[in-house]
A and B are shown apart, each in its own frame.
Chain A
Amino acid sequence: MATHAEGTKSGSHRGGGVTPAPLRDPDTVMRLPRLGAMHPSRLSFLRNLIRRMGREQWRIGCPRFDVGTDECGEAVYTVDTPQGRYSFVVFAQLIPEAARTDRVIAERWDYTFALTEGEPDAAHMARLRANVPRQEAGRVTSRELVLARGNKSVRLFDHMVAQLAAGRQPAIAEVTEVGYLMRTTAVYGNGKFGLADYARLRDGTPFHRPFAAQMLAVYLARLFSLDLVDHLAWRHGGSAATRLSAPLRRAVGVGNATGLGMAPFIVSHPELMHAWVNARETAIARVKGVPRAQRPRVRHFRALLERAIAHADQWWTADAAQHAAICALRRELREIAGSLFPARGADPLAGAYPWRAFAERVMRGGFSLETQELMHSLILEPYPDLADDLADTMAADETARVHAAEPLRAVIARIESGYAWALRIDPDDPAEAHYFWYRAVEKEEPRLGTRHGDPGAAREMPIGVGHAVARLHRELAALSAAELARPVGEFLMHRPEHRALIARIQTLSAKPYAEVRDNLLHRDMRPVDLLRFKLAFFGAVRFDPKSDRWTRITLFSGAPLPADFADPRIDCDDSFAPTWPATP
């Protein structure tokens, strides 16, 4: 069921008479395997942030960097924006290897961070020093926007310091095997532990777009990791030391370990999910509505397709399933490049509505989900004029509410139109309720249990929306016509356990991209697919699943350095499908 892009409601989009194509069917887009193959795009949050930093010429300084050769100490970075100054405060300590874990239940970390308003004075630093290294066990204030932590990637970090101290660049092979010097293991915002509420950031700050503050914190964590290796190299090597080369500084990103903690967010914020996906799909629909592809844009597309091939060639994981997917991606990208840009013969992109034809070929031509979604991200790259404004549509208020006067039969109608996907679920099939989601006592970490094997099902989190809708539909369908004519409010007086779900159905049935259209309790469900969906919107690359429940990824690989923003020779928004330099 295709729907028209929002752009059509206000007529043709600006720029060359573009009439957006219909949006892709949510029954196609919102299936878990496809979400688990999603790739970043120019609408990813880190790209949105980078563009803003460049457009507004944010200035990043480092008034304090006090880290000793024991890798312990503090640093402060400042960021000057048109809305004011922010500071990124780092506390560094070297923890024993045995204490170093990516799990959210960790108690110690090599680095802890806070992004705060203004520049901290001595009293503010003292308060941060007493609380930030304790993370969840401490308290911060609404002056702090982000609380985060990370651990160093020991092998690469130590190799890099040793090489730089000796006046040499690190071996490319060592760098590319890991890709980052530090891995963040949690980046908190939105009011947790006393942090500023997101609502506070929506007016008068540069962080009104989703996760903008968190992305800035991660960008600065990356910068710190790069500065730290240079600093330690100098401390160890003195005048013999050299700095990490600019190409490598840009290529190195920040790692992140993401587990199930991210999954409930996707279900708890459906209107936000709809806003994110709708923005991407609308951008895709606009590009598909381009009547003729201009040659410079085709050249840009071709250059990025070649880069995507190199990116895929450099993408490595030990996970067998993901490795197979990457191998297929490599093969298919070459096939696509060969067919789009043959040495002789027809030019497939020279015809009418070339991107629509290309997208349809990719969707129907037997290509893997990885290839399909990478190509849908790639076609956006040559068209910033059609995509980038949609970044301002990616925030959303969560407004789920009961429509009490609506007759109960209207709820059935909403389910059968907006939640028809849930009616594929058989509530009596044990496989369909194999899992339950819960929060563990240990740091309230979200976990997955098996219903008839693990304790805790009585405290199940309401993640299995599809399964719950299927059960509700069955219950409502058994009611008489007279009962179904009565208002929802009366039903809920006697059945309060359905209140949240009916509010959700009544609110979201008109938001087609709000729900993951698969059963999140099913035996065959892969939680890592949920994680990748959200991480792709962050801008993460090089997914490296470590199990079906957690993955490592890299952020800001290929992103500009602070000095790049003022250099007119550098395109700061050119980090799609980042690749490693051939030489340092």
Chain B
Amino acid sequence: MAGDAVTRVSLNELRVRYTRALQGIGLPAGTAADAAAIAQWHDIVGLDGARRLLDALPRLGETATAPPALSRQPDGWRLDAAGASLFALGGVLVDTLEMAASAGVPAVILAEARDVAVLGGCADLAAARGLAADLRCADAAGTLTAASDGARVWWALRRGPADPDVPANSVVARTARPAAEPGADAGPCRRDPGTIARHRAAALDRGVPVADAEWRRIVALAELCLVEDRETGIGRS
């Protein structure tokens, strides 16, 4: 976004436009709302939510026809995403974590998913439910982690070799509070709760910068929800 003209957008605008854009391409309302929340979280903490969402668009429209498959083992559950985007399955992942925690199952793997790098927004969804979770995925630069203690969220990118326990295109999730401050060794590629709170305060104070071209695309997609008509809306006297 450096050098691009930007529009400063309020958090309410982000959420509403994202939700409508996602509904406009065919996602059901609840799925669209969760995906919008994931994207908005990334915008708030400076991780390019708009760009990530727009990059995922080609995959998002496919999700409705391919429900994930859940298989249960005592030491963990596997959720096969069949190539669906984590934007569309973030709510499902958190649901599964909640069910697993309730059943005393320590781990869930979301396999064969795309856009797994938005697991930070999923941790935020978990925190909003009061759910503890530790999420990891492989990234080109190393291992991404996001965690919730049921109220606060951490996010970190640990640069280096990929974690062998984290398969590609997967999210490995544990239904437990982080044992220590997650990502404390991740250096500048980290967002701890204090940093996230400062980002959120700044977003409320000044709006979130979104590249003009990206914002125009989002707004155009949101208009897919609108109806061209000649009805006047005035009603019967």
Interface string of A488-531 (1 = CB under 8 A from B): 11101110111111110000000000000000000000011000
Residue B129, interface by CB 8 Å: yes
Residue A291, interface by CB 8 Å: no
Bin the interface of chain B by size: 35 or more
Near A by CB (< 8 A), chain B positions 14-37 give 28-31, 33-34
What chain A residues lie within 8 Å of B13 (beta carbons)? 191-194
Q: Which of B3-11, B162-170, B181-189 binds A?
A: B3-11
Query: Do B227 and A489 touch across chains, with their CB atoms under 8 A apart?
Result: no
Residue A260, interface by CB 8 Å: yes
Q: Summarize B's interface: helix, strand, loop or mixed.
A: helix
Query: Do A500 and B33 touch across chains, with their CB atoms under 8 A apart?
Result: yes
What chain B residues lie within 8 Å of A454 (beta carbons)? 229, 231
What chain A residues lie within 8 Å of B140 (beta carbons)? none
Residue B128, interface by CB 8 Å: yes
Query: Do B96 and A489 touch across chains, with their CB atoms under 8 A apart?
Result: yes
Residue B91, interface by CB 8 Å: yes
Query: Do B226 and A401 touch across chains, with their CB atoms under 8 A apart?
Result: no
Q: Which of B54-62, B64-72, B111-119 binds A?
A: B64-72
C-alpha spacing A406/B114, complex, angstroms: 28
Q: A192-B13, A197-B12, A500-B33 are in contact. Are A492 and B231 (CB under 8 A)?
A: no
What chain B residues lie within 8 Å of A499 (beta carbons)? 28-31, 34, 91
Query: Do A200 and B226 touch across chains, with their CB atoms under 8 A apart?
Result: no
Residue B237, interface by CB 8 Å: yes
Query: Do A440 and B233 touch across chains, with their CB atoms under 8 A apart?
Result: yes
Near B by CB (< 8 A), chain A positions 426-457 give 438-441, 444-449, 454-456
Residue A287, interface by CB 8 Å: no
C-alpha spacing A71/B102, complex, angstroms: 67
Query: Do B237 and A455 touch across chains, with their CB atoms under 8 A apart?
Result: no
Query: Do A142 and B10 touch across chains, with their CB atoms under 8 A apart?
Result: yes
Residue A462, interface by CB 8 Å: yes
Q: A439-B226, A441-B228 are in contact. Are A401 and B129 (CB under 8 A)?
A: yes
Query: Do B11 and A490 touch across chains, with their CB atoms under 8 A apart?
Result: no
C-alpha spacing A444/B30, complex, angstroms: 21
Query: Do A494 and B99 touch across chains, with their CB atoms under 8 A apart?
Result: no
Residue A405, interface by CB 8 Å: yes
Residue A94, interface by CB 8 Å: no
C-alpha spacing A342/B215, complex, angstroms: 68
Residue of B nearest to A502 (CB): B30
C-alpha spacing A502/B9, complex, angstroms: 30
Query: Do B9 and A194 touch across chains, with their CB atoms under 8 A apart?
Result: yes
What chain B residues lie within 8 Å of A487 (beta carbons)? 99, 102
C-alpha spacing A527/B205, complex, angstroms: 36
Residue B92, interface by CB 8 Å: yes
Query: Do B227 and A455 touch across chains, with their CB atoms under 8 A apart?
Result: yes
What chain B residues lie within 8 Å of A192 (beta carbons)? 10, 12-13
Residue A466, interface by CB 8 Å: no
Query: Do A500 and B28 touch across chains, with their CB atoms under 8 A apart?
Result: yes
Contact residue among A191, A197, A405 (Cβ-Cβ distance under 8 Å from B99)? A405
What chain A residues lie within 8 Å of B217 (beta carbons)? none
Near B by CB (< 8 A), chain A positions 193-220 give 193-200
Q: A142-B205, A200-B205, A405-B102 are in contact. Are A496 and B64 (CB under 8 A)?
A: yes
What chain A residues lie within 8 Å of B7 (beta carbons)? 139, 194
Residue A109, interface by CB 8 Å: no
Residue B204, interface by CB 8 Å: yes
Q: Which of A125-133, A158-166, A344-352, A542-550 binds B?
A: A542-550
Query: Do B91 and A447 touch across chains, with their CB atoms under 8 A apart?
Result: no
Contact residue among B30, B67, B233 (Cβ-Cβ distance under 8 Å from A494)? B67
Bin the interface of chain A by size: 35 or more
What chain A residues lie within 8 Å of B99 (beta carbons)? 404-405, 487, 489-490
C-alpha spacing A456/B28, complex, angstroms: 17
Residue B151, interface by CB 8 Å: no
CB of A398, distance to nearest CB on chain B (Å): 11
C-alpha spacing A306/B7, complex, angstroms: 55
Q: A142-B10, A191-B13, A194-B10 are in contact. Are A496 and B31 (CB under 8 A)?
A: yes
What chain B residues lie within 8 Å of A336 (beta carbons)? none
Query: Do A548 and B235 touch across chains, with their CB atoms under 8 A apart?
Result: yes
Residue A339, interface by CB 8 Å: no
What chain B residues lie within 8 Å of A403 (beta carbons)? 98
CB of B198, distance to nearest CB on chain A (Å): 14
Residue A402, interface by CB 8 Å: yes
Query: Do B10 and A196 touch across chains, with their CB atoms under 8 A apart?
Result: yes
Residue of B nearest to A443 (CB): B226
Residue of B nearest to A499 (CB): B30
Q: A139-B7, A445-B233 are in contact. Are A439 and B227 (CB under 8 A)?
A: yes
What chain A residues lie within 8 Å of B31 (beta carbons)? 496, 499
Residue B225, interface by CB 8 Å: yes
C-alpha spacing A63/B179, complex, angstroms: 59
What chain B residues lie within 8 Å of A447 (beta carbons)? 227, 229, 231, 233
Residue A474, interface by CB 8 Å: no
CB of B212, distance to nearest CB on chain A (Å): 11
Query: Do A503 and B30 touch across chains, with their CB atoms under 8 A apart?
Result: yes
C-alpha spacing A9/B144, complex, angstroms: 47
Query: Do A195 and B10 touch across chains, with their CB atoms under 8 A apart?
Result: yes
C-alpha spacing A527/B236, complex, angstroms: 11
Query: Do B236 and A142 touch across chains, with their CB atoms under 8 A apart?
Result: no
Query: Do A441 and B234 touch across chains, with their CB atoms under 8 A apart?
Result: no
C-alpha spacing A439/B23, complex, angstroms: 13
C-alpha spacing A454/B12, complex, angstroms: 31
What chain A residues lie within 8 Å of B70 (beta carbons)? 490, 493
Residue B206, interface by CB 8 Å: yes
What chain A residues lie within 8 Å of B12 (beta carbons)? 190-192, 197-198
C-alpha spacing A194/B205, complex, angstroms: 11
Residue B207, interface by CB 8 Å: yes
Query: Do B10 and A549 touch across chains, with their CB atoms under 8 A apart?
Result: no
Q: Could you pull out 19 A-B pairs where Cβ atoms are within 8 angstroms?
A: A142-B206, A142-B207, A196-B10, A260-B233, A405-B101, A440-B228, A440-B229, A446-B233, A449-B227, A489-B96, A492-B95, A498-B30, A499-B30, A502-B30, A503-B30, A547-B235, A547-B237, A549-B236, A550-B235
B residues at A contact (CB < 8 Å): 7-13, 28-31, 33-34, 64, 67-68, 70, 91-92, 94-96, 98-99, 101-103, 128-129, 204-207, 223-229, 231, 233-237
Besides A103-B233, A454-B231, 11 new A-B residue pairs in contact (Cβ under 8 A), listed by A number:
A190-B10, A194-B10, A439-B226, A439-B227, A440-B228, A440-B231, A441-B226, A454-B229, A489-B92, A490-B70, A499-B91
